[in-house]
Amino acid sequence: MDYGGLWTDITSRWPSPTRLALPPVEHIRIIDEALCMSNYLTCFPTSASDRFYYRFTIFDENSPSIANNIRQLAVLDLMSQVSSLIGAPVAYLDFADIIADCRPSHQLDFVASVASPFADSQTIPSLNLILDCIISRPDAHLRCLETLFDGLGGQLAHVRKLMLFGVDPYMSIDWARPFECMRNLRELVVSADEPDDIIELLGSLTTEHRDERTGVTARELYFPALERITFSGMAREDERLDSVAQSLQKRMDLGSPLPVLVMYMVEDPLQPDDERLLSRVVSSLVSLNQMPGDTRPEIVNFVP
């Protein structure tokens, strides 16, 4: 079932607050303005949220500036309520960028849930959003993703798994801002051709403080609790693989070694020299290879 229209036209006729009991449906997709979404979310039970897909425009270059400012404020407000809407701290975040073919636009898919949707077959309370960013100017879409992270704010401290798919168009945002909040992150999945900025941050410090009394300097890396990183679709280049090894070596030197590194290569698998280089800085290296169009990756090598 799809619904598109001004939700406020309907909800304004109901006494507040109102909760709706729905008949069994395969899915519900709501297409509306961002300003209306918070009203909608308060009217439906989060226990069924895996069947709900909310789609709205976060930015449209053809709209007046005031309209886009209102949309941005509405999204910030909506993101600040994610934990409340799903009934628990956000433990899983999934961002995926899709460039629309029919018009100059980016479509950003967002999923937040209390656990990984792949953990088991039980229904997991989650929030599923599709955000349209209608732009033709270079880099205008960057603010869309930044707005989501800014709205989530302190909720990022509870995230244990972060998945970033197709994020090459967003590599120039300041990733340090959201990443420094994710001290409890256990697993990071990055699907990008050139994730160089993220690779660099993996070996960078978030804080460095010297205790004048003891003379001890405390240092903390981004993602101090990280247990697993997966790079998917990354172009194989010697310089980039060297950067991965250098960042992971820094983690080892500073007491936050990475247990598992997964390299999900397309067409160009890791070479033996690559595996030797990377296996020195992680406990386990998993190398996978996939041909374009093949949805079942082949495990090429596992280096304990």
Residue spans per domain, the chain: 1-10+24-156, 186-304
User: pLDDT tens digits for 162-196?
Assistant: 999 988 888 889 999 999 999 999 999 999 888 99
Phi, psi of 245, rounded to the nearest 5 degrees: -65, -40
Cα 174 off chain centre by: 14
Q: How far is 197 from 183, CA to CA, in rounded Å?
A: 18
Instruction: Please write the tens of the pLDDT for every residue from 47-63.
Output: 544 556 788 888 888 88
Verdict on whether the full-model pTM lies above 0.85 = no
Structural contact between residues 133 and 107, judged by C-beta atoms closer than 8 angstroms = yes
Q: What is the pLDDT of residue 300?
A: 42
Return the pLDDT at 33: 65
* C-beta separation of 180 from 208 below 8 A: no
Number of Cβ within a 10 Å radius of residue 131: 23
| pLDDT tens for the 304 residues of the chain, in order | 344 444 444 444 444 444 555 555 555 566 666 666 666 666 655 554 455 678 888 888 888 888 888 888 888 988 998 998 888 899 999 999 876 555 567 888 999 998 876 655 456 778 888 888 888 776 778 888 999 999 999 999 999 999 999 888 888 899 999 999 999 999 999 998 889 999 999 999 987 666 667 666 667 899 999 999 999 888 788 899 999 999 999 999 998 999 999 998 877 788 889 999 999 999 999 887 654 444 334 434 444 4
Phi first, then psi: give them for residue 89, nearest 5 degrees: -60, 145
Whether residue 37 contacts residue 56, with contact meaning beta carbons closer than 8 Å, is answered with yes
CB 253 within 8 A of CB 271: no
Amino acid at 233: G
